[in-house]
Structure 1
Amino acid sequence: MRRVPILMAAWALFAAHFAVAQSWVDTVFPERAFDFGTVARGSKIHHTFRLINRTGSEIHIADWRTKCGCTEVKVGARVIPTGTQTSIEAVIDTTKFTGPKASGLTLIIDQPNFVEVDLNLNCFIRGDITLMPGQVDFGTVQRSATPKVSLQLNYAGGIPNWQVTKMKTQSNHVKAELKPTGSTIDGQQQFILSATLNSSVPNGYFKDEITLETNDPSGATIPVSIMANVQNAVVVSPSIINLGRVKPGSTVTKKVMVRSTQPFNLTTLKGSKDELSGKADPEGARPLHTVDITFKAPDQAGPYNAVFEIATDLKDEPPATLRTFATIAP
């Protein structure tokens, strides 16, 4: 009867594989669960999980599945070289629910080992507070613009003098105001929540949150998500370069395009580390330039990353940035 020893050996092999997979998973996910607390019905609430590759191998995200039809997922890079990271953003639409709500997603990874990772989300959705639309979405805006978005907040609870006593944002890039607008026929108190994006907002994908504190005896706060895509006046393409495996002392050169809607001159080309250097095309103001980025691999083996800045003479425009990654192979 050799079946029992074979089954035991198979089980031991599976247990060992699971333990290895679980050990590296624990190191690359700083967080695998998040509780939004109390939220208004109709809110679109956002949370971003990070995957930081602290292993010695490349990580590949093959797929994912959500735990509720109310949840959307946006994954950054699906191939994560060692020493780099990516983000997994989950958005829950609370419009059709009240009370406790659990959701999240399962991330399917097939390298360096096959593993499924649960990223869990929880919230409590108040039926007596509604928000329309469910988030402050400025959309795509040019840097230095100051767009304004307004939302309607309704309270249908049993506190006659219910009010928002304090508002705060996570950064100083957004200004928020709340004004009462009266009551509906059925007694709901109505408010207009306005948010203005300041010109100080940085370039790129911007997220923030307005926290509403009320005089509700429960002490619950109401989060309101903020998002915007702030475009640079100057764009570098590609904005990320993976130089791959490079031998110590060897040199790799990549060409990038720098463009804008108006003519400009390149003023400074600078790498955050000495191994990166840049050479621009001939001088002259025009809306498109090419830059050769040269990387000379250091002697020390292992993961390498650095940022390359490209400055222009456009007024109030910060330097455009290019991120570079490499693995120095002995």
Structure 2
Amino acid sequence: MTILGTNYLRIQNFIWRNSMRIPVCLVTIMLVLLSYSIIFAAPILQVKNQNYDFGEVFQGEKVPHTFEFVNEGDETLHIDRVRSSCGCTAVLVSEKTIQPGGKGELKANFDSTRFRGAVSKTIYIYSNDPVNPTMQLHVRGKVLEVVAVQPAQINFGTVPAKRPVKSTVVLRNQGEKPLTLGKAKSTAAELTVKMSETSFDQGDEVTLELQLIPKPGQGRFSGYVLVPVDGVPKNELRIPVYATITN
């Protein structure tokens, strides 16, 4: 029997023993209130802080965080399951059964490899809390690219066949250490690329010179410029290149 149930019986016995000295209406009100407290006894999931802002991290870093929670209700809290809004955030709960007043932890680990710029991920906790059966937690922040690519892609637009077109891409080292670049190459023979430097310090820039000589009858060109770089996701930069070819 719960503490609340034991107290209910004690108060009920007190009322019956003193029923001659307590007005009937007051006895009725006390019993009704106690009955409601028993009926509505429930677990309450309370998270210390539902929002976590990790600030800024470089692309590829993992961001761990622990959310602390407590059962502030007067019944046992059962956590059915937890999930995140994408596979990039792993979640693990320490306890799935929390007694009244008990505490637990939810460990989250966000992988920034596939992201850049502002990100926001949601974690869902499903429990038997009748007021809030689906608790939402949020992980937010900004993912910085180790190497900024400007522009991020090249679209030559409409280009006559066999007529060379050129463009420039600038790579900037935004990381915290010098970087070494491998040999730049393209995925198509008609697209060539030249690189100004093979290494650059923090804050330095490297220029890529692209040239496309479209083939007749090609219609639509689509390819990539690939630049091997240590310290970035998959150790390679991929720059999309597009064009529409006319005869």
TM range (shorter): 0.5 to 0.7
Stretches of structure 1 lacking an aligned partner (at least 5 in a row): 1-127
Stretches of structure 2 lacking an aligned partner (at least 5 in a row): 1-43
Indicate conservation of the 8 Å contact 1:138/1:148, yes or no.
no
Name the SS of the counterpart of 1:147 in structure 2.
Answer: strand
Residue 266 of structure 1: how far off its partner (Å) = 2.1
| Matched letter for residue 113 of structure 2 | V
Counting matched residue pairs gives 196
Matched, 1:294 2:211: yes
Matched, 1:142 2:55: no
Residue 279 of structure 1: how far off its partner (Å) = 0.6
2:81 to 139, 152, 166: 166
| Matched letter for residue 311 of structure 1 | P
Greater percentage in strand: 1
Q: Which residue of structure 2 aligns with residue 265 of structure 1?
A: 180
Residue 211 of structure 1: how far off its partner (Å) = 3.6
Indicate conservation of the 8 Å contact 1:233/1:317, yes or no.
no
Residue 303 of structure 1: how far off its partner (Å) = 4.7
Name the SS of the counterpart of 2:183 in structure 1.
Answer: strand
Indicate conservation of the 8 Å contact 2:216/2:246, yes or no.
no
Q: Which residue of structure 2 aligns with residue 318 of structure 1?
A: 235
Residue 191 of structure 1: how far off its partner (Å) = 5.6
Which structure's CA Rg is the greater one?
Answer: 2
Matches within 5 A, 1:173-322: 173-178=88-93, 192-198=105-111, 201-205=113-117, 208-215=121-128, 221-222=134-135, 224-260=137-173, 261=175, 262-283=177-198, 286=201, 287-300=204-217, 302-314=219-231, 318-322=235-239
Q: Deviations over 1:237-269 (max 9, x none)?
A: 221223222122222111111121433332131
Indicate conservation of the 8 Å contact 1:249/1:298, yes or no.
yes
Indicate conservation of the 8 Å contact 1:269/1:308, yes or no.
yes
TM-score normalised by length of structure 2: 0.58
Residue 278 of structure 1: how far off its partner (Å) = 1.0
Q: Deviations over 1:122-165 (max 9, x none)?
A: xxxxxx87767555543421234333345466777x88223323
- Provide the rounded CA distance (Å) in 1 between the counterparts of 2:102 and 2:92: 16
Indicate conservation of the 8 Å contact 1:179/1:192, yes or no.
yes
Change (3 A) 1:313 1:197: closer
- Provide the rounded CA distance (Å) in 2 between the counterparts of 1:284 and 1:212: 47
- CA-atom RMSD, angstroms? 4.1
| Matched letter for residue 202 of structure 1 | R
Indicate conservation of the 8 Å contact 2:222/2:242, yes or no.
yes
Identity %: 18
Residue 292 of structure 1: how far off its partner (Å) = 0.5
Indicate conservation of the 8 Å contact 1:310/1:319, yes or no.
yes
Residue 283 of structure 1: how far off its partner (Å) = 4.6
Q: Deviations over 1:157-206 (max 9, x none)?
A: x88223323223465543324457xx9xxx898765442234x7335255
Q: Which residue of structure 1 aligns with residue 25 of structure 2?
A: none
- Provide the rounded CA distance (Å) in 2 between the counterparts of 1:273 and 1:227: 39
- Provide the rounded CA distance (Å) in 1 between the counterparts of 2:135 and 2:187: 41
- Provide the rounded CA distance (Å) in 2 between the counterparts of 1:253 and 1:233: 26
TM-score normalised by length of structure 1: 0.46
Indicate conservation of the 8 Å contact 1:169/1:209, yes or no.
yes
